[in-house]
A and B are shown apart, each in its own frame.
Chain A
Amino acid sequence: MRLLWFAVALVVVQGLVAGFAGFVAPYDPVGQDIMARMQGPSAAHWLGTDQFGRDVLSRIIHGSRTSLFVSALAVGVALALGGTLGLVAAFYRGWTDRLVMRAMDVLFAFPVMLLAIGVVAVLGPRQETAAVAIAVVYTPIFARLLRGPALVVCESDYVTGARAAGAGDGRIIFLHVLPNLASVVLVQTSLLLSAAILVEASLSFLGLGTQPPTPSLGLMLAEGRNFLMLAPWPAVFSGMAILLLAFGLNLLGDALRDTLDPRLRGQP
């Protein structure tokens, strides 16, 4: 329980800092100060400056916002799309189920990063296409995750009752089945957001996500790498920020799972 509150606090603080980046960040994230290039941490620049004299802390705060925004957008779309597919497959069974899940299996057959890179290569490397790529990758995961528990819920008496009372399919699926899966959705959304942060950072690191000069954590890491021996700060701190974002969300999902479903306690 204490772990859960720790995770909640970590995620909320990061969310607020990223959400109010404009107010929190001490400097303009793209403002250059050529006289103050590649400085180490100091009172003026807590995390130092990069090769253009831009404040690393401010860039990390704005970069966190980009990462969270792209990841949340992607996971949201994947949840809506994949979740609906999983629910529909579980509700209708039969060939609908087979068709939907077979299609998901095919998407599942691709290694995650490879599929994401393929999507970005087709649509062109941009922030929005990175979000689309992550959504495509996570749609089958949500479909699979929700279909299993949804099958159980669809068999329950209250679903039969709702059907007997004359409720339409859509009403049953979204008002009777979905709310009973809230804990699964909450846990998995948190865990997949954490994973999405890492995929987004990887794509940006490869130059396939957010494009300069927009601050992005993966991009900062890639740029900082070129000046690693002269000024390690941008690379080291931006990577730490990625780790912290992904860590908080993963720990949150993990602790939520334990709290919401005691039967699963201790499972990976």
Chain B
Amino acid sequence: MALRLSALQRLLLARLLDLAVVLVAVSMIVFAMIRLIPGDAVAIMLGANTEVTPDRIAALRAQIGLDRPIHEQYLGWIAKVLRGDLGTSLWTGRPVIDEIAVHVWPTVQLTVLALVLGAGLAVPAGCLMARLRGGGADAAMRIVTVAGLTIPSFWLGIVMILALAMVAPSLQLLGYVPFSVDSVGNVTRLALPAFALGLPILANLSRLVRSAMLDALGQDYIRTARAKGVPERGVVYRHALRNALIPFVTSVGIMTGYLLGGAIVVEQVFAIPGLGRLILGAIAERNYPLLQATILMVTLGFVVVNFLVDLLYLAIDPRVRA
């Protein structure tokens, strides 16, 4: 086939192919989940809520489709998923997709807020850290950033709640109200969890920006820019920062995964009815189909975000395109 593709098109095609392979493999692993449960998964599921009788076991087995050959089960399941049918919740009988739709927004909002907070503050913080160099300052920055990296978000959340409850007992800190209902209440209630969740990101990314800035400032093109009389501000922000942001963008994709996972935990601290509550509830009542669908959807979201970050990387780094 004499199809002529540019280097960029070939790269895009290869990435799309990679994406497809990963998506199929992820779906297979998530599909296998229920089958990997030691013992009779159906009896375990029923045991959580009702009396286990042979009739009920057979009925549930047929409902989940465990009575058919494995490849048929997978193909049937994936065909339904592609049509947006994730099955019905075991105990409430509601469509799983509806349950996820209700719980997904608080988590997405929390994740995005934490990312914006962490990544947004990391750029000025990293630039500032790049300017402060020398023995004492380096060691102090290292200790502070490592502490920021390793502070447990859920503990930070609890400590902040405790501190604010002592200072201002009347403040409403817990729970969640949709943005459309009460926009001010929405943002004020998400501010603390977003900060607790975003702090490790801030620590991580500001170190990244710092070292990338130091790296970039030592390059020849910076000397050229200075030599031709570009003012120092322009050198730092237009020339150095733009190049320093390339590794930054790549890590933002990975950070999203960290934040999605961390949000599940932080949600518990702040009583936010997000995916964390859905997942833990599903585990508690052994509602495996619901758990399976939620894990699948969140992972798909994460994979797609990383794919988009990859594309963004192509857009900002001209070297990759060549």
Contacts and interface: CB of A to CB of B under 8 A. Distances in A.
A13 interface: no
B176 to A, nearest CB: 18
Interface in A199-227: 201-202, 205-208, 221, 225
A205 B298 CA distance: 21
A243 B151 contact: yes
The SS class assigned to the A binding surface is: helix
Contacts of B25: 102-103, 106, 109
B152 A206 contact: no
A111 B33 contact: no
Given A111-B298, A122-B33, A236-B159, A246 B152 contact: yes
Contacts of A182: none
B46 interface: no
B6 to A, nearest CB: 25
Given A109-B22, A117-B283, A122 B37 contact: yes
Interface in A94-132: 102-103, 105-106, 109-114, 116-118, 120-125
Interface stretch (B96-104, B186-194, B256-264, B309-317): B256-264
A206 B265 contact: yes
B268 interface: yes
Interface in A231-253: 232, 235-236, 239-240, 242-243, 246-247, 250-251
A166 interface: no
A114 B149 CA distance: 20
A228 interface: yes
Given A113-B261, A114-B298, A239 B159 contact: yes
A194 B200 CA distance: 13
B299 A109 contact: yes
Contact of B204 (A109, A118, A267, A268): A268
A171 to B, nearest CB: 33
Contacts of B36: 122
B147 to A, nearest CB: 6
A123 B38 contact: yes
A198 interface: yes
On chain B, which size bracket covers the interface? 35 or more
B90 interface: no
Contacts of A165: none
A117 B284 CA distance: 12
Interface in B264-285: 264-265, 268-269, 279-280, 283
A172 B158 CA distance: 51
Interface in A41-72: none
Interface in B199-256: 204, 207-208, 210-211, 214, 256
A194 B158 contact: no
B211 A109 contact: no
B150 interface: yes
B146 interface: yes
B66 interface: no
A243 B280 contact: no
A242 B156 CA distance: 11
B39 to A, nearest CB: 9
A225 B25 CA distance: 39
A206 B280 contact: yes
A12 interface: no
A221 B38 CA distance: 30
B143 A251 contact: yes
Nearest to B41: A122
Contact of B208 (A118, A225, A268): A268
Contact of B257 (A102, A105, A112): A112
Interface in B1-39: 18, 21-22, 25-26, 29-30, 33, 36-38
Given A106-B25, A247-B147, A266-B214, A205 B265 contact: yes
B158 A239 contact: yes
A109 B264 contact: no
B108 interface: no
Contacts of B204: 268
B22 A242 contact: no
A56 to B, nearest CB: 15
B291 interface: yes
B158 A106 contact: no
B152 A109 contact: no
Contacts of A110: 26, 257, 295, 299, 302
Given A208-B283, A236-B162, 6 more contacts: A114-B298, A202-B265, A221-B158, A225-B269, A250-B150, A251-B146
Give 9 nearest A-B pairs by CB, closest first: A113-B261, A239-B155, A246-B150, A268-B207, A111-B257, A106-B25, A111-B261, A268-B208, A111-B260
Interface of A: 2-3, 102-103, 105-106, 109-114, 116-118, 120-125, 194, 198, 201-202, 205-208, 221, 225, 228-229, 232, 235-236, 239-240, 242-243, 246-247, 250-251, 254, 266-268
8 contacts: A109-B25, A109-B26, A111-B256, A113-B261, A228-B161, A240-B155, A246-B150, A246-B152
